[in-house]
């Protein structure tokens, strides 16, 4: 390793597997925020995202030997996090408004404007009424900014089936927002 250069993911994975478990912290630091926003929008709050990301890193450590491409640790980690997000039990309706309130507080700090905060709260609540698949395609395209082609590659599916999912999501979101405003 050249002095001053960042160690590659693959090197760190191999080191951890060889027994240097403290090096795993480098991977956690490197990627804990990468998909935090995706998890927050999928699960409804930053707190839920924190739990999910933490659990996913622990699970990734347990299964580190099964990472087929150590140099693409982050892609493999995303799938573990994704599974964790999909497995999250549906929160009861009573809990949901509390979660949204947390994200409202965050929005106030970063953006200001009660109206924006209100719209964000409403949309996040509406998103939670979608199926996880529908919510995911919406989040990947409109929050993470991926193209349909990029989403198709990441999820190993076809663009037409993604569009079908997304268009159903648009209609359900419209329905939710009409009924609750």
Partner 1 sequence: MSERDFHPLVKQLLDGELTIADLPAELRAEGEEALRLLTGVDRSPVELPAVTQRVMQTLASRPAPAVPAWKRVMRPREIRLRIRPWVLAPALAVAAALILLIWPATPARPAPLVTVRFVLVAPDAREVSLAGTFNQWDAHATPLVRSGSTGVWTATLTLPAGQHQYAFVVDGARWVPDPGAPAVDDGFGRRNSVLTL
Partner 2 sequence: MLTLLALPLTLLGLQQGMAQRLAGRVSPTVAALVEQLGTTGAARGLPIDPLIQKAIEGSAKSIPDDRVAAAVRLVATQLDTAATALREGGPVSDTLAIAAGAFAINAGLSGSDITALARVGASPQALTVGLRVAGTLAALGVPRAENIGLVSTTLRSGQPAESLLLLPAHVQSAMANGSTPAAAAAGLSRAAAAQARHGPPPGRGQPPPHPAPPPHP
Binding to partner 2 in span 23-82, by CB under 8 A: 68-69, 72
Give the Cα separation of 80 and 99 in Å (integer).
Answer: 23
150 token code pair: 């990029």
Residues 6+ apart with CB under 8 A from 39: 48, 49, 52, 53, 81, 85
Binding mask 114-143 for partner 1 (x = CB under 8 A): --x--xx-xxx----------------xxx
Residue of 10, 11, 15, 50 that binds partner 1 (CB under 8 A): 50
State the residues that interact with partner 2 by CB under 8 A: 68-69, 72, 149, 152-153, 156, 158-159
State the residues that interact with partner 1 by CB under 8 A: 16-19, 21-22, 24-25, 28-29, 32-33, 36-37, 39-41, 46, 49-50, 53-54, 57-58, 61-68, 103, 106-107, 110-111, 116, 119-120, 122-124, 141-143, 145, 148, 163, 166-167, 170-171, 173-175, 177-178
């Amino acid at each position: 390793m050249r002095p001053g250069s960042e160690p590659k993911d693959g090197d760190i994975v191999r080191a951890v597997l060889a027994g240097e478990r403290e090096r795993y912290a480098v991977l956690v630091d490197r990627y804990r925020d990468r998909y935090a926003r995706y998890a927050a929008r999928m699960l409804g709050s930053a707190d839920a995202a924190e739990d999910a990301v933490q659990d996913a890193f622990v699970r990734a450590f347990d299964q580190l030997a099964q990472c087929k491409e150590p140099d693409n640790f982050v892609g493999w980690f995303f799938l573990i996090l994704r599974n964790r997000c999909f497995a999250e039990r549906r929160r009861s309706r009573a809990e949901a408004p509390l979660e949204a309130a947390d994200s409202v507080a965050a929005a106030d700090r970063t953006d200001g404007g009660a109206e924006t905060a209100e719209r964000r709260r409403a949309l996040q609540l509406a998103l939670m009424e979608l199926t996880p698949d529908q919510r995911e395609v919406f989040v990947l395209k409109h929050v993470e900014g991926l193209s349909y082609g990029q989403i198709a590659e990441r999820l190993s599916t076809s663009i037409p089936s993604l569009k079908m999912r997304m268009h159903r999501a648009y209609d359900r979101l419209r329905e939710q927002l009409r009924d609750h405003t």
